Copies of this chain bind each other. A is one copy, B any other.
Amino acid sequence: MSEHRRRRSSSRLPDETEIPPYITRTAPTYDILTEEQIVAIEEAAEDILEGVGVEVRHAPSLNLLREAGCRVEGERVRFDRGFCRKLITENAPSEFVQHARNPAKSVRIGGNSMVLVPIYGPPFVAATDIQRRYGTLEDFNNFVRLAHMTPVLHHTGGPICEPTDVPVPKRHLDMNYGHLALSDKCFMGAVTSKERAEDTLQMCEIVFGKEFVDSNCVLSAIINLNSPLVLDETMLDAAHVYAAAGQACVITPFMIAGASSPTTIAGLSAQSLAETLAGLAILQLVRRGAPVMYGFMMMGMSMRSGSPIRYDETWKSLLIAGQLARRLGIPFRCGGSSTNSKVLDAQAGWEGSLYMMFSMLAGVNFMIHATGTLEQGLVGNFDKFIIDCDMLGAASRMMSGVDTSPAALAVSAIAEVGPAGNFLTSPHTMDRYRTAFYSPTNANGESFEQWAAGGSLDAAQRATRRRLELLAEYQQPALDAAIDEALIDFMNRRRAVLPDSFA
């Protein structure tokens, strides 16, 4: 029995050699707006760029915009209709490759590809066996190990949790090292200052070689805008570093309906498009052809209770953002398995899964917050990370198309089995049963009696068990000793000059 169990359990782990480094979506996107509606939003965005403009709190960007002929008054910049769109469509790549240090794990971003990336930035961590508390470097490293191990994620992301036990000015060094040493998948760079972005680039140069980094994308970075209509200095500083180096920037306005944007989805989409166009245009002025992504992030706000909500209109807004990004011809980033829930309950399941699924149906190319998020991203939950991987595995397979070949139509198999027959032993079934359906890694499909005999574990408890198994099985991917030493040396040199502030 235990031998049988063990075999079944290990057979559930997909063979890593078969695993593609990213998903190729062959199912169609779900386009909720008509051509006429989407054009109305695009025109409204041009109205905003032309008439209202954006506030750019960054002298180097203002200089570039002035040189390009934009109307700059103080920090307010107004754009001629179509200026930003033209700059972007003529220069930004529609797809690009982000290289991993293991070339087999490099990801294509854009087109029909889908890259799944874990939670980003939670200060807190929790799990069935970990009471909610601030995250540490050890938590961060464990998240990287898990993201490295799961075939469902294609990227280890950025700050999967904040390592709050490391001083803020030095944190990026430890996080970069965790991503580079504990995994060989792609990761995201620090954006909290110019210097931290530069440190990140230099650490990549140590691992990939300077020449390779100069001519290839090895980093992606999230550049959030301060909606409404403000592009701030910190973010643009970091964005300039990455764009100038040909690294990928995701421009993401942070839309809170009724606070930083209108409550209406059409208005919110227009404002978000205007802000993103402005941000993307600046990056193309920094370096034409720099890889960029159209980022979208929004939450509703219940004006009755003040609580953030991600329901009907939020789901629609994801679909609209995907349509807008495809028309602009650049890769699309959105979230993730986000939920308001404080615990890993049915609410966490349904809210997270619907937000995730609408992201996929929106044609997301780069899904941040795919796994592990609770409390709208405040908490990185280790059990949810494991459960979300299972859900994402099923959802990713959903986005493949349907085989309607004569063999799949199975008319002759149906004739052979005939009325009241049984397909269990049909050759048509025998040839296909291993791969016919997604095999869950966390969801339980046993009968009540089997499940009770196995200890009546719920999804979170099973996830805890699986996580501890995975972390025990973890093996660090090989890293050249000289490179490792050079990384450590670089970090030590930087640590010696950086302050120990926790502010």
In the bound complex, residues from chain B placing their C-beta under 8 Å from that of A146 are none
The answer to whether A444 touches B340, judged by C-beta atoms less than 8 angstroms apart, is yes
A9 CB, nearest partner CB in chain B, Å: 11
A386 CB, nearest partner CB in chain B, Å: 10
The answer to whether A402 touches B230, judged by C-beta atoms less than 8 angstroms apart, is no
The answer to whether B312 touches A351, judged by C-beta atoms less than 8 angstroms apart, is no
The answer to whether B32 touches A401, judged by C-beta atoms less than 8 angstroms apart, is yes
Instruction: Tell me the count of chain A residues lying within 8 A, CB to CB, of chain B.
Output: 128
> How many angstroms between the C-alpha atoms of A411 and B46 in the bound complex?
10
Q: Which residue of chain B has its CB nearest to the CB of A300?
A: B437
Query: In chain A between 409 and 442, which residues have their CB closer than 8 angstroms to a CB of chain B?
Result: 409-411, 413-415, 417-424, 426, 428-429, 432-434, 436-440, 442
A158 CB, nearest partner CB in chain B, Å: 23
The answer to whether B419 touches A341, judged by C-beta atoms less than 8 angstroms apart, is no
The answer to whether A313 touches B263, judged by C-beta atoms less than 8 angstroms apart, is no
The answer to whether A262 touches B414, judged by C-beta atoms less than 8 angstroms apart, is yes
In the bound complex, residues from chain B placing their C-beta under 8 Å from that of A196 are none
A258 CB, nearest partner CB in chain B, Å: 5
The answer to whether B378 touches A448, judged by C-beta atoms less than 8 angstroms apart, is yes
| CB-CB nearest 8 A-B residue pairs | A349-B349, A307-B445, A267-B410, A303-B433, A312-B397, A229-B419, A55-B419, A350-B353
User: Which A residues are closer than 8 A to B by beta carbons?
Assistant: 8, 11-12, 27-28, 30-33, 37, 40-41, 44, 47-48, 51-55, 76, 132, 226, 228-230, 257-268, 270-271, 300-305, 307-309, 311-316, 320, 340-354, 357, 361, 375, 378, 384, 387, 391, 394-395, 397-398, 400-405, 407-411, 413-415, 417-424, 426, 428-429, 432-434, 436-440, 442-448, 451-452, 456, 458-460
